[in-house]
A and B are shown apart, each in its own frame.
Chain A
Amino acid sequence: MKIPSWLQFNPGRRFVIGVPYVWLLLFFVLPFLILLRISVTDMGSGVDPFAPLIESVSGSWHVLLRYGNYVSIFHDAGQGAASGWGNTIYMEAYKTSLKYALLTTASCLVIGYPFAYFIARSRPSIRPALLMLVMLPFWTSFLLRVYAWKGILADQGVLNNLLMALGIIDEPVVMLYTNVSMLVGMTYVYCPFMILPLYANLVKMDFRLLEAAHDLGASAWKAFWLVTVPLSKSGIIAGSMLVFIPSVGEFVIPSLLGGAENIMIGRVVWDEMFSSNNWPRAAALSVVMILLILVPLAFYYRANSDRGDGRER
C-alpha cells in the first residue's frame, strides 16, 4: 500500500514512530547494554560494578574489562576432581537447560501437532468452541496450574493415591522433583504456544492438495508426510521457537517441580542474583544465555518474516 507522499514528512509520523521507538531503545536495548557492561566487572575485587569502566592511569586511558566472570563460567578454579576447563556447575546448568528445552519442544510438538491438525480438520462450526477450550486454561494463572501439579504428583498426592487404589502400584512412586515432573510441567505450560501457531498455519492450508495427492496414488500416511508436514513448516518452526527459546531460561517451573539434580540456568542466574548477590556473574551468565539462543532467535525471525506491512509470511 502506497502512502500518499504528502503524508510522508508529516511531523505526526515522526511522533508516531518516535514514541514506541524511544521506549524500546530505553527499556529494551539500553538494559542489554548495561547487562553487557556489568558482566565485565568484578564483584570480588570490591569495586562497585557501576563504577566507570574507563579510567585514567598516569595520563593514558585504560579500559577496565574484567573477563573473570566469563572465565569462571567455563573454568572451575577449585581443587576438586572436576576442576579445570569444562564441567563447571554453570556449564551443567546450560546443558540441562538446553536438554530440557529440546525435550519440551519435542513433546509439545508430538502432542500439539496432531491436536492442532485435528482441530483444523474439524467442522467449522465447532472450531471456535474447541479453540476457546484450549485458551481457557491459558487465561487462568499459569502459576496456579503449575502449583496444582505439585499437589497431583506429590508422594501423598492424587495420582499416587489413585494408582495405589487401583492396585497398579504398592508404594508411592516418587514423581515430584524429578525429571519427569519437570518435563510434564514444562510441556503442560508451553503446549498452547505450540498449538496456536500450528493451528493458524494448518487452518489456512488447502486440504484439496491432500486429495490431489490421494488422486495421484499416495497413501494417506505418505500424503501426510509428503504434503501436510512440509506445508506447515513455518508453523512448526514458529511454534518450536516459541517453546524452545523461553524454555531455556525458564525459572518458575523448575523451581516448583524440578529437583536438585536438574538445575536450569534460569535458577542459577536467580541464585547468583539474589542469594550470592553476585550481579556481574549473573549478568555474564545471562549474556552467555543470549548467545545460546541467538541461532533459534534467527530461525524464529525468519519464520515470522517482516513482509513490510507487519504481516507475517
Chain B
Amino acid sequence: MKTLWRFAENQIGRLWLGVVYLFLYIPLFFLIVFSFNSTRQDGVFTGFSLRWYEALLADSRLVEGFFLSLKVALITGTLSVVLGSFAAFVLVRYLRFTGRTLFYGMVNAPLVMPEVIIGLSLLLLMVAVQRTVGWPDRGFITIVTGHTLLGMAYATVVIQSRLSEMDRSLEEAAMDLGCRPMQVFFLVTLPNIAPALVSAWLLTFTLSFDDVVISEFLSGPGVTTLPQVIFSYARRGVNPSIYAAATILIAVVSLGIITYSISVMRRQKRLDREISAAARPEQSFPDPARAR
C-alpha cells in the first residue's frame, strides 16, 4: 500500500511540477519568441525579424533609463550589503540591548510592507527635508535611499542566515591566537560569510534594477529608471522593443544563473570527494621520540 501511494505521489508530483513550471515560464517563452516577431501584433507570429532589437538600441529613453538603473542598482547593492551586514551582525551577536525588538521589527518590515506605503512615506520625508534644508532634490539620491531601505531588509535576511550558522569558536580561536576584534572580523569572519555577501549583493542589485513603485514616488524630472520607462510604455500599449529588452535580460540572467549553479555543484562535488578521501583509516598521534 505504501509503495502504491509512493508511485502515485511520484506521478502526481511530476505532473504538478511540470504544469506549474510551464505556468512560470510561459511569459518568458512569449517574450523571447515575440521579440523576433516581424510585426507589431501580439497574437500571431508573422515572421522572424530583428527590427525590435534595432528599435531598442535606437530608443534613447530606454537606453538612458538602462544606464541610470545600472548606476542606481550598483550603489544600492553595495550600500544595502554594508548596512545589511551591520544589521545582521547586531541581530546575531548582540542578544541583549534596549530596543532590540523594535530593531528586529524595523529591519524585517520592508520585506512585507506594500511598496506604495514605503514610497509615499519616504517621499513625504524627502519633501519635508527639502523644504527645511533645501536639499535633496528628488532624483538620483532619493531613489537610491528608497531602494536601499528595501534592499537592506533582504540583505540582512541573507547575511544573517549565514552568520548564525558560522562556528563561533573560529572567532574565539582567532582571539586566542592574538587577533584584536577588528582583525578577527576582517581575517576570519568576513572570509567565512563572503558567499552570503555576494548573494545579498546580487539580490539587492536585482531588486533595485527591477523596482517600479518606489522609483516612481521618489524620482524627479529627468531622472527616469528603466522600469519606469517600461511601465509608461506598458500603460500606453504594446511596444515590442520591450520584448527585445526582455529577451536580452533573460539571456543574461539565465546564463549567469546556470553558470553559477554549475560551478557551485562542481565545487560541492570536489569538496565531497576530498572529504571522503581524507577519512581513511585513522592514525593516532605519532611518537615524539621518533620525530627527533
Do A and B come into direct contact in the complex, CB within 8 Å?
A: yes
A interface residues with partner B (beta carbon < 8 Å): 1, 3, 7, 10, 12-13, 16-17, 19-21, 23-25, 27-32, 34-35, 38, 50, 111, 114-115, 117-119, 121-122, 128-130, 132-137, 139-152, 154, 156-158, 160-161, 188, 191, 211, 214, 220, 241-242, 245-246, 248-252, 255-256, 266, 269-270, 273, 279, 282-283, 286, 289-290, 293, 297, 300-301, 304, 306, 308-311
Contact between chains at A3 and B131 (CB < 8 Å): no
Contact between chains at A16 and B90 (CB < 8 Å): yes
Question: Can you list 27 residue pairs at the A/B interface with Cβ under 8 Å?
Answer: A3-B95, A10-B181, A16-B90, A31-B121, A31-B125, A111-B23, A115-B16, A130-B17, A137-B27, A139-B257, A140-B249, A141-B209, A147-B234, A151-B42, A157-B42, A160-B43, A188-B24, A211-B2, A214-B2, A249-B115, A269-B120, A273-B120, A309-B91, A309-B92, A310-B92, A310-B163, A311-B161
Complex Cα spacing A154 to B40, Å: 13
B48 smallest CB distance to A (angstroms): 17
Contacts A24-B107, A133-B21, A140-B246 known; list 11 others, CB within 8 Å.
A20-B90, A24-B106, A30-B125, A115-B20, A145-B31, A154-B43, A156-B42, A158-B43, A211-B2, A251-B213, A273-B120
B interface residues with partner A (beta carbon < 8 Å): 1-2, 5, 9, 12-14, 16-17, 20-21, 23-28, 30-31, 34, 41-44, 83, 86-95, 97, 99-101, 103-118, 120-122, 124-125, 127-128, 131, 145, 149, 152, 160-161, 163-164, 168, 181-182, 206, 209-210, 212-213, 217, 227, 230-231, 234-235, 238, 242-243, 245-246, 249-250, 253-254, 256-258, 261, 264-265
Question: What DSSP secondary structure best describes chain B's contact surface?
Answer: helix
Q: Which residues from chain A contact B24 at a C-beta distance below 8 Å?
A: 133-134, 137, 188, 191
* Given contact pairs A12-B181, A21-B103, A156-B42, A35 touches B116 in the complex (Cβ within 8 A): no
